[in-house]
Each structure stands twice: as C-alpha cells, then as structure tokens.
Amino acid sequence: MTRSGLVSAGIPKPIVACMAGRMVDRLSILQLRRLAGLGKADRSRDLEQFLYRVRSLRDPQIIAVTGSSAALCASGMVR
C-alpha cells in the first residue's frame, strides 16, 4: 500500500508520509497488495477504524508493522 492507498483509506496526509516509507521497507509486495485492497473497499473514518480493518487481514506482520508505524507517526516520534 503506497501513499495514495493510505490516503484513499482515510489516513491523514501528514501521517501517511511517515507511514508509507516504514511499511514499504518492512512488508512484502504481497502484503502491501493485501493492504491496498482495504483502501479500495471503503474509506475509513479515522486511523483507529483503519487499524481495525487491518486486523481483519489476520496477518501478524501486517498488523504489527501497520500498528507500530501508525503509533510512531501519529505521535510524532518518527517522521
């Protein structure tokens, strides 16, 4: 899932800029494509709803990378 996919999924742009790089470095192409499917299905209201939808993929690595990226980027600890 690239920057445009995260934006389409409803993630705020400042957080997207941070998350995308971390996710591309840590997830496989197949995992990123699975995440991209979430953005195409429906737009999330907020980051919390997006993470809820990510858990539905039932892939521990996707959940861990996306969750940690969201937390670090939303808190401003990583840019």
pTM of the model: 0.85
Domain enclosing residue 53, as ranges: 3-75
Look at the chain and report how many structural domains it folds into.
Answer: 1
pLDDT bin (cut points 50, 70, 90) of residue 39 is: low
CA 74 to chain centre: 12
Hey, what amino acid is at 49? Q
- Count of other CB atoms within 10 angstroms of residue 28: 10
44-78 residue pLDDT tens: 777 888 899 999 999 999 999 999 999 999 998 87
